[in-house]
Structure formats: structure tokens, C-alpha cells
Chain A
Amino acid sequence: MPEITERAPATTDGTAPAAAPEAAAAPRSLWGDAWRDLRRNPIFYLSAVLILFLVVLSIWPSLLTGTSPYACDLGRSQQGPGPGHPFGFTTQGCDVYARTVYGARASVVVGICTTLLAAVLGCVFGGLAGFFGGWWDAVLSRIGDIFFGIPVLLGGIVFLSVIKGGSIFTVVLLMAVLGWPQIARIARSAVISAQQQDYVQAARALGASTPRMLLRHIAPNALAPVIVVATIALGTYISLEATLSFLGVGLKPPTVSWGIDISSAATQIRNAPHMLLWPAGALSITVLAFIMLGDAVRDALDPKLR
């Protein structure tokens, strides 16, 4: 029973006034606790600064470069770094630095929105399937299986050519619809195994309500694997957008994205590796920031670490 005894003082420690209604106060104090933990974690600040930087970059790319990502001159094709052009040029003779800066918007938006959407869908479907089991599980999980069976390429070509898509919104929607079943499976397994913990059984025996069980006892303990998968998925979604764009069913030109640049640089790796280095580097920094954030959040939610 150590979890319960450890948790009990933590809840009363919370900033929530004791008089507040139970349903509202309980989650707030738990998450409030986590928030207090987070603020003490340097990794959290590092990742927050990085993410803030990326967001600013997405909104005002012109802060960092005066060069247009569309100003291309074949005469400079695949040239290395030079004065005013620190990262060199692409095959089309565009400035790699400018394209990396301007590419942040599409890539970061696609990555974050898709991950959020897929994670929400996955947690709801997977969580309910794991918690209730039986028919819930059968129906929700099998729906997931059907979606998981659709090849991304087929889904992409059909979806985006039928609705004549190509905007960031349609690409996000497509990837989330095809991506949630994986997160749902992970969430479902985490919920099933969290349900077996003694304190959950105890809470259930004490007659805790279903929402309370789910949000207070199971969610914090089931979140870790979901966070791990979601943070890595964020990176793969950014790359997947590249694959879709490369196949002509993703973002349409003249949108600039890291994915598009990575895939056109990939074939030229022997001729001009610098074309790949910078957009791929930017992608890894983004993923790194979110992996660190995920780790920090997970640690904050783990009472054993307190």
C-alpha cells in the first residue's frame, strides 16, 4: 500500500482550498502537484525554451533571416556555405538556411497538431477500451484495427485527391486518423496494467466513481508509455508529411517544410550532404525538445520519485 500512504499527504499539500467541491479539487491538486514538480526540473525549462523558440520561429521566420526561401538560382545549385549563406544551397539553388527557418512553420504545426489529435483520440478510445473491457473493448479496438489496416499511402492518395487537399489542416487530419490506433493500443495496455495496481483496486473497493478512478488513479500511472510513444511519433509525423509531400499528396508547393527539403535532399546525399544536414538537424532538435518535455512531465507525475 505504499502508493496510497505516499499520495495522501501530497494531496492535502496542494494549493486547492479544502472547501472546494471534491470533483474539481481532486484532479487540480494532483496536476497542481505535478506542476510544482515540473517547475523544479531544469530539463523542463530547457525543453520549454526550445519549444518556445520553435513557436516564435514558426510565427515570425523573418526575425532570423532576411533571405527569401523562394529566391532560387540554378547557378548556385548545391554550392556549399558562402558569405551570407551559412548553410549553402539546395539543388534548385535556394538558400538552405532560409528554407530551414521558413520550414519550421509547416513542420512544427504538423508535428504538434497531429500528435495532439492522435494522442487525444488514442487515449479516449484506448483508455475506455482498457477500462471497461468487454463490448467496449471489442468495438473500440476493432475499429482501431480497421483504421490501422489502411496503408498510409493509399489513405493519403485517396483522402487528399478526393477532397483536393494539400493544406496543413487536411494533412494533420489524415495523419491523425491513421495514427491514433497505435497510441490507442498503448493506452489500452497501460490502462489494463494500471488497473491491477493495489491502490486502484483499493479505490474501486472504496466505491470511487468512474471518472474519478480514470482521471485520478489510472491516468497518471498509464500516461508514461503514451508520452514516450507520442513524443517519438511527433518526429515520425514530421517525416511522414515529407513522404506524403514527396508522393504528391502532402503539402502543396509553395509551402516550405523540413520534410519536403529532407526528402529532396535524401537522393542527393552523395553529391551534397549539407542539404540534408540542416533540415534533418532542425527536426532532431524539435524531437529532442519534446522528448525532454515528455520525460519531465512523466517524472512529475510519478509519485515514487518524490
Chain B
Amino acid sequence: MRGAKSATWVAGAIVVALGATACGGGSSASAEPGVVRANWGDPQNPLEPANTNEVLGGKVLDMIFSNLKSYDPKTGEAKNDVAQSIDTKDQQTFTIKVKKGEKFSNGEPVTARSFVDAWNYGALSTNAQKNSYFFADIQGYDKVAPAEGKPTAKTLSGLKVVDEHTFTVTLDEKMSTWPLRLGYKAFAPLPKTFFSDHDGYLAKPVGNGPYAVDTYDKGKQMKLVPNAHYTGDDKPQNKGVLLKVYTDSNAAYADLQSGNLDVDDDVPAEQIRNAKSDLKGNYLSQPAGMNQVITFPLYKDGWNKAGMEKVRKGLSMAIDRKAITDKVYNGTRTPATDLTSPVLGVANGYSKDVCGDTCTYDPTEAKKLIKEGGGIPGGKMTISYNADKDSHKQWVDAVCNSINTVLGDDKACVGNPVGTFGDFRNQITKQEMTQPFRSGWQMDYPQIENFLTPLYATGGASNDAKFSDPKFDALLKKAGAEPDVKKATDLYKQAEKIVLDKVVSIPLWYQNGTAGWSDHVSGVQLNAFSFPVFTKVKVTD
């Protein structure tokens, strides 16, 4: 019976441990009057503007920072926000004047120095900021972030403070559309406390946006209140926002239906069909600055040899985009007609027809083209994707079925899942892919240039296909030097046509942003980045 005695001890210990844990509860998440409760997830990086490259952290930074420019939620047009003016004479050196009287939420004034210090911090390689390449066009980047070895300078030589509210930026090359990117969060100003008390900043970030962080309970929730020092045009029309961390979009959706959540910008794909009736019409779906393509490994002879252009075009024409977006995605994807996204609007480079018949489903012509080009290399192809998120399997299977039906061969195309996103990206960057693979692009700023230079320019940071074409590169350069933004956009469109004609990748569809909301709130809309425009949300009760 001595066993029984020790068992009692163990049981006792468990009870004590339990009692201890039960007492450590957090604060309650019940509705406060006037406060919007919204879906959120744990950010993947510390909440530093130059270190946040995913939507969860981006959502918060979008609320607590105002940038030099901001994008119109409807048209995507870039307008001056914190910037008084941005001028240039030679498309290479820009003079930026910051509005006077702007303040951070701790009362500190926003000055030219706030920007210059922030950008220098973001660019310096020893700070390991994941968005550092945004500063790569600025003169002196190769000194603060050399590809090998230690940096030889601490600051970018292209950034100069002129006076309290003026600074100049000098680029390595001419680029007329450069200021359009200044609405991206990597270019946000930073308060002095970011540098003097970094841990304090991370625990409770300080920005110059319409909202200020009130409390931040990591991994659980963040409470935001209107920033008392905010002087811009975008004053919040509610008393604050409570961002609640959810582990899964279905859990958030269930909470939304039960009235425990007000704004959900991540309605799960399988619920889309029921969302309108579940939410009694409180639902919207609109194109986002995100597209999905299939990229060919042009560095492998198999997909790059003579005649493959025809095969690649034929494969693109063998995909029934309309059926897939309707049946697999219930209309939350829009078949692609170019390499950009509809949120840009025609003015910034979106086109309804530039892809032409390459993006049009035509089984007979598709089969003919693939045959003429010599058929799929090796007779079989796979489409690689990462299986760990976003359910890519569904559309890859559908695309393969579509291709197989056209070719009359059950097994000509099959999906090839890769376990983790990391493994998948490593295979791409090390050029180990022998077969086509999925890639997606989420825009940084609504301008066609952002959809071309990184992805298709020779040596571009995300040129996964290793595409290289001197004519294309020359057009990009010409567009950059063109002082008139409209003319520059036209030049970019000509460059886009080259990529499409060579079918470097198969444009599939634009992703939509979705949002559902409770009866408790009104005025929900999504901006160009598919973030809810929280400042415009009104609490109705």
C-alpha cells in the first residue's frame, strides 16, 4: 500500500499546480462601449516598421503609423499624408518637406530627423531588419549593407537633413515613381524612444498614426485607442479597437456569428458560400493587391529550350480559370488578365486585356500549342506548392485536372506538396526546382513597378524564374528616368507585355480581401492592402 501513499502525494501536487495556474487569468475581452473588436493573429516579427513583412504585424502598424503618403482606399491613388511636398528636378534627388505640428502619440514632434533616423536604422544590416531592401535604391546602401562582410558606414549617404522639417533623398539611379512607395510601412518615422528604450517600445509601440497602443498583452490581444496627438484627416470615428488574437480563421468566424467579434477580415474560404446568409448581408469581398501565378524554372533546360514558349502558353490556355475561381474559391478570386492587380486602377498600370488569349481558356488551341512545342518535357509535370498554409492543394489539383483533361492524360500533371514553407522557399532560392511551382505576390505599394522589377528584372530580389531579358531591363530603366508618371506607367506596361509574351509565369487569379462584420458596427471597408479601414468604422449601439 505504499504505492497508494505516493499516488496521493502526486495527486496533491497536481491539484496545487492546477490551483496556481487557474489564478493567472488575463483581463476580460467583453465589449466596451464604442470599441470595435477585430480579428487578429500573433505577428511573426517584433512590431518594428522595417521588420514587419506580413499582414498581421502590418495591420497594427497601419493603424499606429502615418506615412509620408497614404493610398486612397477606393482608387489606390497615393496622396501626401505627413508629407507637405515631395519634389524632384532630376528624378534622382527628392526633396521631402514634412508637415509641421505632427506628433507621435507620446507627444514628441515628427521631424525630418524622425524619418532619416528610422530609414538609416532599417537599412543598416547589423539591425537585421527584414524590409531592409526597401532602402536598397538609396545612395550608400552598399556601404551599410554589403552583401559580404561588415558594413563600412552606419548611415545612408543619400539621406540628408536640410532643416527641422526638410530632408533630401538621393537614389542610385533615376526613378520617377519612387515617391509612390512612401506609403509603405517600412518608410514610417520612428520616435526617439525607439532608439533609447527599444524594449519599452516593443512592449508598447509608439507611432504617429490615428491610433495609439493602450495595452498589449502579447499572444492574446492589443487594445488601441485614438491617438490624442493625431492631427491628420483620418481621425477615428470610434472609441478604439480591440484586436483579439485567434489561432484559426474558423474560430474567429464562429465568434463573429455569436456576437463576440465585430470585424473579421479573414472569412475562411469554406464558409464563403454561407457567409452572406450567416451574416445577414454584413459581408464584402473585393480584389486585393495579391495575385497567384505558376512560375517556370527557366534555369532548367527542360522548360527553357526551343519550343517551350508554345508549351508554356498552351498550359496557360489549358487552365479554366473561371471554373476554378467559381467552384474552388466561390468567387473570392478573380481570373487574372495581367501581372498586376485591379486595386492599382488603370492609372497605376492595371490592364483588363494585356494578357490576351494566353489567359483565355481554349482547350483545342491549348492542346495544339503544347503538341507543336514538343509536349511537356519528359511527358509529365508537377506543380510544387507549400502544404503548410493557405490550402494551395485545392487549386493545384484543380489546375492539374484542367490540364490533364485538355491533354487527355490522367497523370500528365500532378501536384507536388512540400512540407514547410521554409523548405519550399529554400528549394526555389537554391534553384533546385526542376518543375513549375506556385508563387504569389503581395504588393508593397499600388504601382505596376512593384509587380515587375522585383519579380522579373535581371537579378531581381524575387526573380524566382531567373528570367533575364535585356529589352525588358532597358524598358524598366527608361521608365524610371521618365519624369511624367503617366508616361512611365505606359513604359512599364510595355515591359509587362514582354514577360507575358514569353510566358515566364502563368498568371492565375487575383486574390480578394473579404470582411464580415456584426450588427454592432457599420461603415466597414477594406483598403488597397485588404486591411479594414478601422478609423471609418462606427459602433452603432
Contacts and interface: CB of A to CB of B under 8 A. Distances in A.
A161 B324 contact: no
A252 B327 contact: no
Given A74-B327, A91-B328, A248-B387, A160 B419 contact: yes
A253 interface: yes
A77 B404 CA distance: 17
Given A92-B398, A270-B270, A252 B328 contact: no
Contacts of A252: 414, 416-417
Interface residues of B, number: 32
B357 interface: no
Interface residues of A, number: 29
Contacts of B120: none
Given A74-B327, A74-B398, A271 B410 contact: no
Contacts of B323: 74-75
Interface in A63-82: 68, 70-75, 77-78
A264 B411 contact: no
A41 interface: no
A198 to B, nearest CB: 22
A252 B414 CA distance: 9
Contacts of B393: 246, 248, 264
Interface in B399-447: 401-402, 404-405, 410-411, 414-420, 423
Nearest to B392: A248
Given A70-B410, A75-B323, A92 B419 contact: no
Max chain A Cβ within 10 angstroms of own Cβ: one of B391, B410, B417 = B417
Interface string B371-404: 0000000000000001110010110011001101
Interface string B264-301: 00000111011000000000000000000000000000
B417 A73 contact: no
B274 A68 contact: no
A70 B269 CA distance: 24
Interface in B224-280: 269-271, 273-274
Contacts of B388: 247-248
Nearest to A94: B401
Max chain B Cβ within 10 angstroms of own Cβ: one of A71, A92, A94, A247 = A92
B449 interface: no
A271 B270 CA distance: 8
B57 to A, nearest CB: 25
A101 B470 CA distance: 54
Contacts of A160: 419
Contacts, number: 79
Main SS of the interface on chain A?
loop
A268 interface: yes
Contacts of A73: 401, 405
B327 A70 contact: no
A254 B411 contact: yes
Contacts of A75: 323
Given A73-B405, A268-B270, A254 B414 contact: yes
Contacts of B401: 70, 72-74, 92-94
Contacts of A247: 387-388, 419
Interface string A227-264: 00000000000000000001111001110000000001
Given A161-B419, A252-B417, A71 B386 contact: no
Contacts of B102: none
B62 interface: no
A161 B424 CA distance: 11
A210 interface: no
Interface in B461-520: none
B418 A91 contact: no
B136 to A, nearest CB: 32
B48 interface: no
Nearest to B418: A248
Contacts of B328: 74, 77, 91-92
A215 B414 CA distance: 49
A72 B270 CA distance: 20
A96 to B, nearest CB: 15
A267 interface: yes
B386 A248 contact: yes
Contacts of B411: 70, 254
A157 interface: yes
Contacts of B81: none
Nearest to A245: B417
A156 B387 CA distance: 13
A75 B326 CA distance: 10
A70 B270 CA distance: 23
Nearest to B271: A270
A253 B397 contact: yes
A133 B485 CA distance: 82
Contact of A267 (B270, B386, B414, B420): B270
B397 A248 contact: no
Contacts of A254: 410-411, 414
Interface string B316-340: 0000100110011000000000000
Interface in A57-111: 68, 70-75, 77-78, 91-94
B394 A91 contact: yes
Contacts of A93: 327, 401
Contacts of B416: 252-253
A246 B274 CA distance: 24
Nearest to A76: B327
B245 to A, nearest CB: 22
Contacts of B405: 72-73
B417 A248 contact: yes
20 contacts: A73-B401, A73-B405, A93-B327, A94-B401, A157-B419, A160-B419, A161-B420, A247-B388, A248-B417, A248-B418, A248-B419, A252-B417, A253-B414, A253-B415, A253-B417, A254-B411, A254-B414, A267-B270, A271-B270, A271-B273
Interface of B: 269-271, 273-274, 320, 323-324, 327-328, 386-388, 391, 393-394, 397-398, 401-402, 404-405, 410-411, 414-420, 423
Closest 10 CB pairs of A and B: A248-B387, A248-B417, A70-B410, A77-B327, A74-B323, A157-B419, A267-B270, A72-B401, A249-B419, A253-B414
Interface of A: 68, 70-75, 77-78, 91-94, 156-157, 160-161, 246-249, 252-254, 264, 267-268, 270-271
